Amino acid sequence: MKSSHIFIGLLRLVMGWMMLWAFFDKFFGLGFATVPEKSWLAGASPTAGFLNFGVSGPFSDFFHGLAGNAIIDWAFMAGLLLIGLSLSSGIGVRIAGYAGAVLMFLMWLSLLPPKNNPFLDEHIVYLLLFLFLGSSGSGRFLGLGYFWSKTGLVNKCKILE
């Protein structure tokens, strides 16, 4: 395996862990970004704090309207979990990459304009990274994606790779 493949695999694993960590911290309230009494497990909304108090810019009214909505909470938490599991395993990385890019775009849009740059912030960097991971076959490196890509299901529907 080439060293570039190892780095691509490691990059995918790191991004997978980032998404899983965000899920577990919001679900259990591990005390990092989310305190236990504000966890989803304790009945708090995982999106309400950010969408009520963290958003800014021309789309803030739209994002404020989504705060605390159960469908938005479930979609957000399912997205974090499924993107994280997919990137960590190397299975379904194409869909996970595109879904992660959409999530990052929405987070960037909710903070428009960014505080330290008129256009660019970490969400755009992550968006591009997710697109790269989803389009580069990164699941095949340090993951189960190679074996997954050989299945009949993936051969019939390449988006599942």
| pLDDT recorded at residue 54 | 92
Taking only the tens place, the pLDDT of each residue in 8-59 is 999 999 999 999 999 999 999 999 999 999 999 999 999 999 999 999 999 9
Q: Residue 46: is it exposed, middle or buried by C-beta count within 10 angstroms (0-12/13-18/19+)? A: buried
Instruction: Count CB-CB contacts under 10 A for residue 123.
Output: 20
Outline where 111-159 has alpha helix (H).
122-135, 145-149, 152-156
Q: Cα separation of 158 and 99, whole Å?
A: 16
- Report the share of the chain in percent with pLDDT over 90: 94
Classify burial at 1, counting beta carbons within 10 Å of its beta carbon; exposed 0-12, middle 13-18, buried 19 or more: exposed
Cβ neighbour number for residue 150 with a 10 Å cutoff: 9
Please state at what angle helix 3-28 crosses helix 70-89, rounded to 10 degrees: 150
- Tell me what pLDDT residue 69 has: 96
pLDDT higher at 71 or 116: 71
pTM of the model: 0.94
